[in-house]
Amino acid sequence: MPTPATLLTIDRSALAANWRFLAGQAAHGHCAAVVKADGYGLGAVEAASAFLAAGCTRFFVAHLAEAIILRAGLTERFPQAKPSIGVLNGLLPGEQAEFLAHDLLPVLNTPQQIADWQPEHPAILQIDTGMSRVGLEAMEFDALLPDLRRRNFGLLISHFARADEPQEPLNRLQIDRFSAAMQQLPGVPGSLAASSGIFLGPDAHFDLLRPGYALYGGNPVPGKPNPMQRTVTLTTPIIQVRDVEAGRPVGYGSRWHAPA
């Protein structure tokens, strides 16, 4: 087999350093790692292994199938470790047995998901504080409070809509809404800040940071220097270098013309 001409190199030490850097920003608690979409394309088990070795004990994925693969991979590599794995999309019909068998935590987003999950089993609750994506609406949360208070929630979460815009008033509003919800569930820790939310300051941190793309080198502070280390390098040989005179079109549809 010929050696592939193009090589994608993933730096595990940079992944670990990024997690440690973000964990160091935590004002009141700890730092999880989101490894959904197969670790943002870098391999969920590989990425989570780097984070786990660096000290991370809580992970999030989007789907149950991802969580089962992650649990098996981490158990094989770290038999003594028992990290928490939350599934952001929550519980679909008929999945409860799989969650329990693999020791996974559903993020309960809707009244139906809450009704379908046995109250004695651990779970995570998500509320909507301004993104209008997933999670209980304020009226649903209020209506379900008596039931929610008797359930075994280990975490309350929500998600910023515009955390990459530090001056956006919605950020403060979401923090206040989340704080008010936490007061209604005494003793349940909270998590609101993902990658960009971490840089909104201590008021946004609550008990657990929940970064995703920043762990992989994405810039969580657009318009400012990226504080994260690069985790991926793509190298490939250059086949040809061309000199193109001014005005000459290049590519399909001649959509670009050389300015000089």
Active site residues: 36, 252
Dist. CA 178–CA 180, nearest whole Å: 5
Dist. CA 148–CA 137, nearest whole Å: 14
Consecutive H or E run containing 78: none
Q: Are 181 and 156 in contact (CB under 8 A)?
A: yes
User: Which are the contacts of 107, defined by CB distance < 8 A and separation ≥ 6?
Assistant: 60, 86, 87, 88, 89, 90, 123, 124, 125, 126, 157
User: Which are the contacts of 216, defined by CB distance < 8 A and separation ≥ 6?
Assistant: 15, 18, 39, 40, 42, 47, 231, 232
Q: Give whole-number Cα distances, 161 to 37, 106, 172, in Å.
A: 20, 22, 11
Dist. CA 9–CA 69, nearest whole Å: 23
DSSP 93-159: TT-HHHHHHTT-EEEE-SHHHHHHS-TTS-EEEEB-SSS-SSSB-HHHHHHHHHHHTTS-EEEEE--
